[in-house]
Structure 1
Amino acid sequence: MPLRQTLDFLLYDWLHAQQLTGRPRFADHSRETFDAVLDTCERIAREKYAPHNRTLDIEEPRFDGEKVILPACSKEAYDAFAASGMLSAAQDYAIGGMQLPYTVESAAHTFFAMASVSMGSGMLTVGNANLLMVHGTELQKQVFALNEFSGRWSGTMCLSEPQAGSSLSDIVTRAVPDGEGFENDPLGPRYRLTGNKMWISAGEHELTENIIHLVLAKIPGPDGKIIPGTKGISLFIVPKKLVDADGRLTGARNDVALAGLNHKLGWRGTTNTLLNFGEGKFKVDGRAGAVGYLVGRPHEGLRCMFHMMNEARIGVGMAAVMLGMAGYAASLEYAKNRPQGRPVGPAGKDPSRPQVRIIEHADIKRMLLAQKSYCEGALALALYCARLVDEQHTGEPDVANEARLLLEVLTPIAKSWPSEWCLEANSLAIQIHGGYGYTRDFPVEQYWRDNRLNMIHEGTHGIQAADLLGRKVRMEGGQGLELLAGRMRATMARAGSRADLAAYATALGEALTQVADATKAAWSTGDPAEALANAVPYMQAFGHTVIAWIWLDVALSVPANSNDPAHEGRLRAARYFFHYELPKIGAWLQVAASRDPTCADMPEEAF
């Protein structure tokens, strides 16, 4: 099914995004303006992104000793995207935005991710600017965030370090006050940073005039010593090129140097870098040390950065969804046109009969239906989360608070579930293509390689699982989990009155009970080491339960006895998920509930 048809159904028939126009912030909009945005993004993605997806995979970024070189199509695509206004789509009119609902903005971005995910659509730039709009000073917003929203500058997030990886408490990048009077710089208290950061997406390129790095570093405490752990971390704006208080480039480079490019399995169109801060290659005022401006209060850097990290996690989940959708579309087209084999009749196969297309084989249908259930279910979840963002920002106080709690619980799932299961969809797409799928003659191998990153970046599977079971389901006395369960029960109650969905409602209720019981059992001893030893299987079961709920809720928007093939496809995908996928949760939850020590107790020497 074409992506646009699926988006229209999910946006308007299921999520009722058009009702958002009744709120003051979105009063100037209508379904027509929403559709116009989708039309524009679909066109740019088709014309500027999709034709160059393979080019970006083959022509990797390279450093010529002075600058990073990307294919010319990268610049053309970036300029077209920036000109569309999508970088500031959700921002206020006063700063050049469209005041577009995040639900619609998120849907619009799907076209770019599906056409060429590594071409990029400004996820980190927008996240960087959004963080500054919340935690930055007025001048930091004016100088840095607004230039990012306009597309003049781009942004990154610099967390990981070669020796620390995801363990942020172990970062060693340092920031010290930049001499007497440093605290009075109009752009914010000024520091000098030294250290190394790794895995920085879009950390060096020539697509924009400047790159604004948001860097985590540790500053001395009142006693002059570094506070250990994450409590000592602060956040800094570190521009690649120095700017003045009016947002003009001064012509001087900051002391930020490219240490190397990472050569990746996928996402090759996006540079991935190692950056050295303060190595002295580009001295500022004759001294080594990268100039950085404090964001927020000292030692609260991680709290500020989570604003961007959580936004990025939902974005990563959507990228995984759309790579899965791209593979599904390719394998569906292939299956419809590839003749191979003959059907089995009562007397076996008749070699005199002509070959059939492989889509007529039951096992091919199984793999296609699995892809459809994974990808369209995950797309619905991602858009549901986007709708919660709009509720959080524009809903009545009670509604906004509920949206906040639901987002807290669902964010680890919105990131992890598509990253795992839409990757599996890409694997099935290769399988459907057979040997051809393993070659570069078809795009499905690239989709798989691109998607493999999404289980890693912005928090690995293990980190998401520990966050879910260790914090999210227990936070605020378990209110978020109970609220989610309440939403599921409401869906079950509605589905119970439809003969074609009642059995699914019962199955979902049983799954929800299993998840609740496993949550309590995992924590029954109060020992975090025991509870979290099987956090990933727990998260897999939790995610499958969430997607089953999403599919049931989506199915309720399909009219009973409809003759529309698209509607039948949705009901069949829901049926597949309840028959083939939801039953898997028992095994996952069993090891979590019993706090099975098989993995945790495995002695190193036994490996």
Structure 2
Amino acid sequence: MRATIDFLLHDWLQAEALTARPRFADHSRETWGQVLDTCERIAREKYAPFNRLVDTEEPRVVSDSDGEKVILPQATHEAWKALADSGLLAAAQDYELGGMQLPYTVESAAHAFLSKASVSIVAGMLTSGNANLLMAHGTPAQQRAFATREFSGEWAGTMCLSEPQAGSSLSDIATRAEPDGEDFEGDPLGPRYRLRGNKMWISAGEHELTGNIVHLVLAKIPGPDGKLVPGTRGISLFIVPKRLVDAEGQFTGERNDVALAGLNHKCGWRGTPNTLLNFGEGKFTPGGRAGAIGYRVGAPGQGLAGMFHMMNEARIAIGLAATMLGMAGYEASLAYARERPQGRPMGPAGKDPASPQVPIIQHADVRRMLLAQKSYSEGALALLLYCARLVDEQHTGDAAAAAEARLLLEVLTPVAKSWPSEFGLEANSLAIQIHGGYGYTRDYPVEQYWRDNRLNMIHEGSHGIQALDLLGRKVVMNGGAGLKAVAARMQRTIDAALPVPAGPLPELHEYASALASALSKVGAATQSAWATGVPEEALANAVPYLQAFGHTVLAWTWLDVALAAQRLLAEHRGPEAEALARGKLAACRYFFHYELPRIDAWLAVVASRDDTCRTMQDDWF
């Protein structure tokens, strides 16, 4: 995997060009290599050996005078300490914050090793996202008291959105936040409120890994009549720490009114505690009164804008987690296929029962399943690193480049989260298939990879939510500006590949034509879906649209990667580089021959505004 990451970073994305920018001027390919080495070592020593352990020794609850505690294996504590000590939680932050000022592209590549080694132990992604949100939307005091301690790994962070009765419908949340006294505006940590409500599906919501847990909570502030404002307009964002602190972030000795209500027992990701939390139920009484103390972040009613900063970062992280689970299954099934003897070759020689069996990798159908996994996982990894590169462009490019990067990210984020989640899971299913009956047992790791990956289509915005976001908002916003920006990027790749009729993969020019056709079909289907202007008709087939759009994006990614592989072959760097490049070209060929043609069926129901699902009646089921 390291060779693929190095190739994508340096041969494809040309990441070294970032060192010409002032923020990254202290870095070089060598310093980035050291960061990758460190993360790879931590993953190998502290994460991978314990992936099965945290799957079997699930979080458990014990009670003491301080309330319920969630107990995790010692291996998880050591993994967290190794990650915190490495400085990787703050890798992309300013030097003044203890960061390394790494490009987000390099930080993402480094974290890929951790997700591949044990996605269930990787609880740091929400902590970094939580702190990044505060750096973007919090006050200097909030940043100093909370974010800096999260970046150091001293404290952890969560995000608390969903509620038992609301699920993904954030407009229906019922958690209340009421001003805490007449002087609530005067608290140095921000306007102080008392929160009451319940939150569900909170990853790492309770544990003993760190001295404090910083919850970012969505709640509604009552209007003058005491009633909650309906819809999303009344939603505000609050910092609700597990343990209360003063203006400098020092503990006051009081426990906030945040109580563990229970653990969710999951199919996968069993090493990460997933919790139900009660805010303000009176189990603890900070200041002598019930109600969880929270500090408002940003203006009243602007909670979603702030939380989406963290949520979008989390969606890219989930896409990366799904990708690396797919990669882990691919590598495991590749190793198994090379070692497992079964059957004999086709043809006369294979008809002799006395002839030796061959490794199953010699069978074409096994190679098909391996190629599918390779095209899914390596293609998705390329897409995620491309999105990370856009984040760097957004923050360090000139005004025009930053604006374009922001627009591209708007459209690509639903794909970056959902496509790897769906097809990373399919890759894991194929890994089980290659193992045969053994793959269905716990003697091999691939069944756990599948269970862990099944969650990724659900959390941080389910598959259907991402589809509605893409077709309902992202591709039509600002007169379709985002879709046009993505199409323009695709056209650059098409133009680069069209005039290349020769070389190690002469079909590249054919694939450029196929991609141009697919792009045209996506554009036409988008227009047809919205031809009547009726959202119910346009969005009834949003998921097939997401699948087709995602496949088109991945085809573009693979074609662009293939052009870099062609260049690598032309440089004659040796047998290892040649094998890597030819593997990328073969995966590209697979994707265009086997995968891209699938978009026609998906787009057909979108373009016709097929009403089969929309008009199905409840009692007909």
For normalisation by structure 2, the TM-score amounts to 0.97
In 2, the alpha carbon distance for the partners of 1:557 and 1:215 equals 44
> Does 1:449 pair with 2:451?
yes
- Paired letter, 2:524: D
Deviations 1:92-115 (A, max 9, x none): 011111000000000000000000
Range with bigger deviation, 279-288 or 560-569: 560-569
Matches within 5 A, 1:301-340: 301-340=303-342
- Paired letter, 2:512: A
Report how far residue 366 of structure 1 moved: 0.3
Matches within 5 A, 1:140-159: 140-159=142-161
> Does 1:503 pair with 2:510?
yes
Report how far residue 498 of structure 1 moved: 1.3
> Does 1:228 pair with 2:235?
no
> Does 1:578 pair with 2:592?
yes
> Does 1:549 pair with 2:556?
yes
Q: What residue number does 1:512 align with?
A: 519
- Paired letter, 2:27: H
- Paired letter, 1:19: A
In 1, the alpha carbon distance for the partners of 2:19 and 2:351 equals 59
Q: What residue number does 1:34 align with?
A: 32
Report how far residue 497 of structure 1 moved: 1.6
SS in 2 for 1:457: coil
- Of residues 285, 295, 298 in structure 1, which corresponds to 2:287? 285
In 2, the alpha carbon distance for the partners of 1:598 and 1:102 equals 43
SS in 1 for 2:379: helix
SS in 2 for 1:119: coil
Deviations 1:431-477 (A, max 9, x none): 00000000000000000000000000000000000000000001111
Q: What residue number does 1:604 align with?
A: 618
Report how far residue 251 of structure 1 moved: 1.4
Q: What residue number does 1:78 align with?
A: 80
In 1, the alpha carbon distance for the partners of 2:269 and 2:216 equals 22
Native 8 Å contact 1:337 1:357 kept in 2 = yes
Report how far residue 183 of structure 1 moved: 1.1
Report how far residue 559 of structure 1 moved: 2.6
Deviations 1:482-508 (A, max 9, x none): 011011111011101212210000000
Q: What residue number does 1:356 align with?
A: 358
Deviations 1:285-310 (A, max 9, x none): 22110000000000110111000011
In 2, the alpha carbon distance for the partners of 1:93 and 1:167 equals 39
Native 8 Å contact 1:278 1:289 kept in 2 = yes
Report how far residue 346 of structure 1 moved: 4.5
In 1, the alpha carbon distance for the partners of 2:224 and 2:324 equals 48
Q: What residue number does 1:479 align with?
A: 481
Q: What residue number does 2:296 align with?
A: 294
Q: What residue number does 2:533 align with?
A: 526
Report how far residue 347 of structure 1 moved: 7.8
Report how far residue 234 of structure 1 moved: 0.5
- What is the CA RMSD across the aligned residues, in angstroms? 0.9
Matches within 5 A, 1:151-230: 151-230=153-232
Q: What residue number does 1:245 align with?
A: 247
> Does 1:270 pair with 2:272?
yes
Q: What residue number does 2:20 align with?
A: 22
For normalisation by structure 1, the TM-score amounts to 0.99
Native 8 Å contact 2:123 2:272 kept in 1 = no
> Does 1:588 pair with 2:602?
yes
> Does 1:566 pair with 2:572?
no
Deviations 1:561-591 (A, max 9, x none): 6561111110000000000000000000000
Q: What residue number does 1:88 align with?
A: 90
SS in 2 for 1:235: strand
- Of residues 370, 373, 377 in structure 2, which corresponds to 1:371? 373
- Paired letter, 2:256: N
SS in 2 for 1:336: helix
Native 8 Å contact 2:344 2:350 kept in 1 = no
SS in 2 for 1:124: helix
In 2, the alpha carbon distance for the partners of 1:153 and 1:130 equals 14
- Paired letter, 1:212: V
Native 8 Å contact 2:123 2:204 kept in 1 = no
Q: What residue number does 2:6 align with?
A: 8
In 2, the alpha carbon distance for the partners of 1:30 and 1:370 equals 34
SS in 2 for 1:285: helix
Deviations 1:19-64 (A, max 9, x none): 1000000000000100000000000110000000000000000001
Deviations 1:114-145 (A, max 9, x none): 00001015110011001111111110000011
SS in 1 for 2:566: coil
- Of residues 537, 542, 545 in structure 2, which corresponds to 1:538? 545
- Paired letter, 1:12: H
SS in 1 for 2:287: coil
In 1, the alpha carbon distance for the partners of 2:378 and 2:223 equals 49
- Paired letter, 2:513: T
Deviations 1:516-561 (A, max 9, x none): 0000000000000000000000000000000000000000001366
- Paired letter, 1:103: T
Matches within 5 A, 1:85-164: 85-164=87-166
> Does 1:493 pair with 2:500?
no
In 1, the alpha carbon distance for the partners of 2:56 and 2:32 equals 35
SS in 2 for 1:160: coil
Range with bigger deviation, 345-354 or 83-92: 345-354
- Paired letter, 2:170: L
- Of residues 242, 260, 263 in structure 2, which corresponds to 1:261? 263
Range with bigger deviation, 116-125 or 269-278: 116-125
In 1, the alpha carbon distance for the partners of 2:140 and 2:380 equals 38
Deviations 1:310-330 (A, max 9, x none): 110000000000000000000
- Paired letter, 1:45: A
Report how far residue 224 of structure 1 moved: 3.6
Native 8 Å contact 1:61 1:70 kept in 2 = yes
Q: What residue number does 2:461 align with?
A: 459
**Identity over aligned pairs, percent:** 73
Native 8 Å contact 1:46 1:115 kept in 2 = yes
Native 8 Å contact 1:174 1:193 kept in 2 = yes
- Paired letter, 1:581: E
Report how far residue 349 of structure 1 moved: 2.6
Report how far residue 356 of structure 1 moved: 0.4
In 1, the alpha carbon distance for the partners of 2:277 and 2:301 equals 23
Q: What residue number does 2:389 align with?
A: 387
In 1, the alpha carbon distance for the partners of 2:349 and 2:235 equals 72
Report how far residue 354 of structure 1 moved: 0.6
Range with bigger deviation, 87-96 or 200-209: 87-96
Native 8 Å contact 1:158 1:198 kept in 2 = yes
